[in-house]
Chain A
Amino acid sequence: MSLLEVRNLTTAFQTGRGEINAIEDVSFSVEPGEILGIVGESGSGKSVTALTIMGLLPRPPARVAQGSVWFDGQELTGLAETRMERIRGKGISMVFQEPMTSLNPVLSIGEQVMETVRAHERVGPAEQRRRAIEMLDRVGIPSAAKRMGDFPHQLSGGQRQRVMLAIGLACRPRLLIADEPTTALDVTIQAQVLDLMMDLRDELGMAIIIITHNMGVIAETADRVLVMYAGRIVEQAPVQTVFDAPAHPYTRGLLGCVPTLEQDTRRLLAIPGSLPEPGLRPEGCRFAPRCELAIEACRAGLPPLESLAAGHDVACIRA
C-alpha cells in the first residue's frame, strides 16, 4: 500500500465570481522512501495540492469539492481538526519556501525545534533539549548545542532553512512536503540543502514531496515527477523518462527553459503566452492556446490522463 494516496482531488475556492477549482481531479501516490517532484509554473496548483493534503487551507473559502487523501491507510479529508493536528508534524511535515519569514523572530531556534517535540510527545525538558540538539546537529548546524539559544536573525538564509528542516523532522515524520525549499537560497546553498534532504531521506526512510518550478532541482533529487498545469496533472513519469522522452508539449516547454552547457543557443526557449486565470480557463485542453501542436480536437474536450507506458501517464491527445 502506498504511504500517501491522493484520489481525484478537487479543491475549490469560493470567490466573488463563484466557486473556482484551484486543482481538479488530481490523483497520485507516494511510496515510502520515494522522492516525488511536483513541477509547474506559479499558479499551476502545486502549493494548493500540498496545502490540501496538510489540511492547511482556510475553510471557507477553500473546500475539498471532490476526491480524498489517504495517508497510511487513514483518510485525511474530513478528519477532525484535533486529529489532523496529531498528523501534522508527526506523520506529515511541511517545510516552507521562505526561511526568512517562516521562523518565529522572538523564539530561539532551539525553542522552536523543542516546540514541535512538545506538541507531539510527552517527554521531559531534558529529553526535548537532547532531541532538538540532535536534530540541529543532523541538519548541519555547527556546534548545535551552543547555537540552541540563537535567534533567527543571527542565522544566514541557508542555516535558517536547515533549522526549518530540523523543525519539520523533529518528530521523524514519514512524509515531508517541501514547498519550494530552495527558491529563496543562492545556488551553492541550494545544492547543500538538497543534498541534505536526500541524506535525511536515506537515513530516516521518509518519503519526500518536493514542489518546485525548477527543473534542475527535480533532476537532482526526484525519483518520479508530476507535471501540473492550470490545476491539473498533465504528465506523470519517472524522472529519467521526463528528461529523456517528455510526452506532453508543456513538459517539453519547461525543459526548453533550462539552460544547458551543451546547447549553443543565444536565447532560452520560452513558452509563449501565460497561464490562464483560474476563472477563465479555456474549453478543452488548457494548454492548447499556448501549444504549437494544438489542433481543433484539442479544444473540443479535456484530454484524460492516459497511460503511455508503465508508470508514464500523459494528458495529451497528440502525445
Chain B
Amino acid sequence: MGQYIDIQHAFSISGFLHMKYLGGALSLWRPRRRYYFAIDEIAEELIYHKSEVDFTVHRIPIGSFPISTAVITLDDNNNCAFILHVSGRSVEFEADNEKSCRCWLDAFSNRYSEAEKQKFSQTMLRKTKKSSSLPDHESSTEQPVPPRKFSFQVRPTKRDLFASPSKHPEISENYLLDEEMDDWVTQWLRNEKFHNFSTLTDPTTPTSTNMSKKSLCSDSADTEELDLLREITNNQKKRIEEMKHEMHSLTMHLDQMRRRCDSTSGTDRDTLSSQNKFLNSEILRMSAKCEIYELQTSKFKKENKKLEEDLHQLRCDYVYAVQSTIRIPLHDNTAMDVMSMKLLGGETHKSRLVQLVAEARVEDPSLPTLQSLIQGIYVDSFGFRICLRDESIALHYMATKLHQFYTNKSTSSIEHKKNWKTFLEENAFIELSKETKTMCRRGIPNSLRSTVWKILINQQVEDLKVVYGRYYFRNLCNTQGGEDEKLYSDVHQKQINLDLLRTMPNNVHFMTANSKGVTQLLQVLHAFCLHNPQIGYCQGMNFLAATALLFVGPEDAFWFLIAVTERYFDKTYFDSNLTGAQADQEVLKELLEVQHPKIMKHLTALDIDVASITLNWFIALFFDAVPFNTLLRIWDCFLLEGPKVLFRFAIVLIGKHEEEIISRNDAIMRVSKAASRLAFDEQAIVDMAFNILNLPTRLELKNLQLLYVSVLAERLEKKTRRANAFVNMLANTFSNEKLISNIFIDEFSPDHGFVVSGHHLMGKIAKIKVVQNRGTMADIDIEFDCRVMSICMVKPDMAYVSLISGYMICAHIGSNDEWSVLWEIKLPDVATCLIHRENTLFAGLANGILTVFENSGDKWPTSVQMWHLPLSSAPLMNCVIHDDLLIVATACKLITLDAASLTTLSTTHVASSSTGSGVFYFDKITCMCESSFGIFLTTDHSTLIQLWQDTTCNLLYDISFDHKTRKPSLSETESSVHVESLLFNDSLLWIGTSDGYVFIYDVEPTDNDRENEVKYRLKKFSTDKRGSRSSASKSCRLESLPEDLVENDVPVVGKEKRASRVSICIDRETQQYSAILKNAEEEQEGTGSSSRFNSHSSKTIRSPIRKGFSADSAVSVFSSEPYTETKIDLIEKSDEVFAFNKKEINKFPEARLVSSTDSSCTSMEFDDTFELYSDEERSRRQIAITSPKRLATMNLSRQIHLKRRDLTFDEPYFVPVPESTDKELASDIDADTVVPSVRLTLSMKIKISDSSVRKIISSGPSHILTCSGEFDADEAVLLWRKDEENNLWINDPVLHISSFSSGSSPIDSQPSTGRSK
C-alpha cells in the first residue's frame, strides 16, 4: 500500500457515511458499513477509505464511484440518506445527520448546477414561446428525481412477480397519492404471496372466471388484474366468514368471564376503594411534582438555549477575531509578501480552530481541514483550489470559513435568505430601489446568487436583447467565416488562446484545456469579439467572464460582458488606450483628495500615481485584488447599482490603511496592495463603503468621467499617433517628410531663430521665438522647391538663404515675419554654409570655393560685390568666425583666413578617426564650433572629439566610451553612432549624436593629473614612404579645360583678393558641367540685369563627366593649385591612398571606394603626412593628416590624455586590430604623444530622439536649441534652459503653432530634465 500522493486530486467534501449496496436478491441482508468518503473534484470520483486517517495520509482508497455519470436520488424514508445510481448499481448512503446529508447533496448538485442552469433558461424561454427550438433537457436524468419516481425505479425487482396488481388503477392512484398506502399494499401483497398463488392456481373459483369473462373484451391486462383481485376478494370473504365465526365464539367466552367476575367483586370492594383513594392522592402528588419538574426543565431548557446561542455567538466572534488578526507584514517577507499572521498563545488557537472545524464538519463536511489546506487538496465551493503552505495563513483561512459557516447559521442571515427568497418569488425583476439596494448590500446568499445575478444581468441588457434577438449568442457562437471572424482570428484569437489557460488556473473548472469552464470561456470571449470588434478582447475580460461563468451559464456571461462594456461602462473603457478606465482613475483621484487628503498629499509627495494601484480594480472589477468572497459582495452591489460602487470600494480599500500608508516613505506600493488583499472583512467593508459621505451623485460622476475621457482621449490619441510614427520609423519606412535639417539663430536678436526642414523637393522655414523660457515656432509663409541649406541674417530685416539647387536668395523680412524675395542668384555650387561679418557674407560652396559678398547688407544686388575664392577641392562644410579669423572646414583640413584680407594664415589637417571595422576613413569635418580653447570638431562617421588650437591638437576624446557606458561585452561591433552636431557654450560642450543622444560635457583646463590616464599616441608615418606624393596636393582636372584659361582665371590663392570670378554649374541631367568665367565688369552687369550668372557672354566649357566619378568630384576641378595631371592620376592615387594597407583594400567593397571618392574628394586631399594616433593600451588607432609645412610648428612630443573618471564600467573597451596590420603600420610610423589642454567631464547624457541630433545652437545667453527628426513631430525642436536650482539643463519642446490653429493656447507641457551623475 503505497503512498497515494498525487496533486491530481482535490477534494471538495469529505466525511463519514454509511454505505450499503442496494438491488439484487440479498439487498435486505446486506450489511451497512461506515467509511470515510470524499469527492475528488478533479478525477470526478467519490472515493472512500476505511478511516479518516487513511484518507489524510492518501492511502489508496478502498473503492470509488465515478460521479460524472452518476444520478442521485433521495430516500423518502430516511432524511439522512441518499442513493447513488452509477453504472447500473445503486448504493445507499446514510449520513450521520440531516444537515451533513444536505451538504453532501449540495456537493453533488454543484456538479450539475450547469445542467440546472440550462434547464432554467429552458423554462424561461418556454414561458415566452412555446415553439422553442431549443433542445429539450426535460428528460435529463442528472436532476435529482422526485423520490416517488425513484422508488418506482429502484424496486422493480421486488415487484416483478406482482406487476399486475400494482398496476391496478385504483391502487396506483392510491400509490401516487399516498405513499404509505403503497408500502402497505406492497407489504401486504408480500404476505399474501402464497395465498395468491394458491388462489390463482385454483381454477374452480367461479367469480373469477365470470368476472374475467365480463372484462375480457375491454382489456386483457385489466381482466387479469380483476381476476386476481376477485380472487383476493374471495379469499378475504372466506376469511371474513372465518373471522365472524371466531368472533362469535369469542363473544361467548367474554360473556362467561364477565359473569364469573361479578360474583367475586363484592367482598374486596372496600379495601379496593381505600386503596384507590390512596393511589389517587398519590397520583395528584406526583403530578404536582411532575409539574414542578416540568417547569424546571423548561427553565433549564431556556437557559440551555440561551447558553447555546451565546456559545455560538462566541464561536462566531472568536473566529472573527482570529480572522481579523491578519496584518500587513512589517518587513519584507518574500514568502508571503502581502500578509502575515501571528497568533499569540502558542498552539492554543491552532488546536481550538482545528477542534471547531472538526465539530462544524459534522454538519458541513465541505469545510476544509488544516491538512487539506496545507497539502493543497482542498477545493472550495466555487471550485478554487486552495493551497496555503503557511500554517498560520491556513488557520486564518479556516477561521474565515468558520466565520462564514457560523454567520450563515445565525438567525439574521437565515432571515435575510428568506427575504431574498420571498422577494424572488414575488418579483421577476429587481428594480433599483431602497429595498433592493439594502438587500444587495447585505449580500446575495450563495445559493441564490446565480439566480439573482442572472436577473440583474438580463435586466441590464434587456433592450439590447430585443434588438439583437434571442438567439444572438448562439448565432455568434456558431458563426463561421465573415469579416468579423477574420478580424477576430487576426487580432484577438492569439491573445485569447494565450489567456484561456491563464485564467483562474487554480480553479477546477478552468484547470485544463478540456475543462468545461475553459471551453465556455472561449465561447463567451469569441462571441464577444464578434459582437464588438472595435473593443475586441482586452485582458481582464477573461476574468470578468470566468467569474460570471462560475455562477451563470455562458450565454449570461456573454451578456454580462456586453452589460459591462455598454451599460455599466461605455465603449471607451476598454478601447485601445483604456481611456475610460484611465479617466475613472482621474475621477477617483479627485474623490480621494476630498476623502483622504492626507494620503493623497503623501502619495503626491512621493510621486506615486494612485492609478498604478487602482486601475486594475476598475478594469477587472477587483478581481485578484480582494479576497474572492469580498469580490462577490462588491459584484452583488455593482450589478445592481453600477460603477459608482467601485469608487466607494476603492476609497475604502485605500482609506482603510491610511495610517500605514502615511507612516511610510517607502514600500507604499506594497502596503496599498496588501491593503486590498487583506479585505477579508467583507461586511465591514461594505458598510464602510456605503457610509462614505460627500460623494458626488451618479450623474455628477458620470459627467466628470466623460470630461476626463475627452481630455485623455485627445492626449492618448496624440501619443498613439506618435507611437505609431515611431513604430513606422522603426520599420524602416523612414520618410524624409520635412526632416529638420538645421537651425539658425538670428544674430541680431538671439531670441529668434529659424528651423529649416524639408526634403529634396521642398524646403520650409519656421521661425522660433523664445520668450521667457518658452519656445514657440510658427511657419513662415515661404516655400522653396528644394532643401534649404543655410540661412544667414545680414541685417535685422534681411536674410540670405542658400538652397541645395545652388541658388542664393536674398529675402526681406517684414515686420510680421513676412518674407519677400528681393533677388536670387545662382552660385557655382551649393552654398553649404553662410556666415556674416561686418556687411560681408561668406558662403562656403560645395566645390571648395569661398564666395564673398561684399556690401551684402545692401538691398539691391547692384552694389553687391561677389568674389570667388577657391580654397580647396573639397566642399567647404563649415565656417566659423573667430575674432578676425575666418576658419573654414573642408575635408579634413581647417583653413584659417584673415577675415578682412582673406589671406590664408594656416592650414591644419586634423585627425581622422577609424571606425570599428578597421577601415580608415579620411573624412571631412562634419561639424565644428569655436571656443575659448580652440576649435572643437569631429569628422564624418566619428565619435572622436578633437580640439585644435592653431595647428596644435589639444584633445582627442572619444565619446563612444560614454555612449556605451552600459556596454557589458568586450567584443566590438560596428556601430553607426557618430557625432552629428557640436556646440560650445559657456564652458559646456554640447554634443549631439546620430542616434539621438545629447551629451553635455564640462570643459575645464587640464590640471595635468596623469594618473590612470588613457594615453593616445600620435603616430607619424615616415615621409619617404610617400615619395610619389611628396609634391604637395594633387588633384585631377579635365583635360579639355584649356590650360591658359586656367592660368588666367583661376589663380593660386594669394594674399590679395585674387579670387576668380568663376561659377560652375553642373547639369545633372546631361552629366555636363559648365564653367562660367567672368570678369568683374561682366559680373556686375550680370547681377544687375538678370541676377543669375548664366549669362550668354560667359564662356562655357562643357565636358561629359566620366563614368565612375560623381558630379562632386568633377566640380572639384578647381583646386587651390592648378595641375596638369589627368584623371587617371586620381584613380591611381586612390589606389595609393589605400596601398599602405593592402589588407584593408581587400576588405574594401567597391561601393565603398566610390563613396569615398564621392564624399567630398577626400582622397584628393590625401597628399600630406600621415599621422596615426594610437592608444597603445587599447590598440585603438586614429589617423591624422597633417600638412607637412605645419608639422614643424606642431608639438608632436605631447601626449593626449583622456580623463574619464566618470565612467562607471569596469571593463576596458577594446578594438580588435589584426596583428599583421599592426606590424605593417608600426614599421611605417614614428610615435609621439599629445597632452590635452582641456578635460571633458560628462555632466549629462540624455536621449532626446531616435533620429540624429542635427544641430545644437545657442539662442541668447541662456538658451540652447536642438533639433532632430521630422519637422512636425513633437519634441523635434527642443529648447534647453538651465535650472538654476539644481544645476540641470531642462528641455521643453518648442511648440509649433500652425497657422490654422494659431488661436488655441499651447498645451502646457511637462518640463523634463536630464540628470547629472
Partners in one complex: no
Give B residues with C-beta under 8 Å from A: none
- Interfacial residues, chain A to chain B (CB-CB below 8 A): none
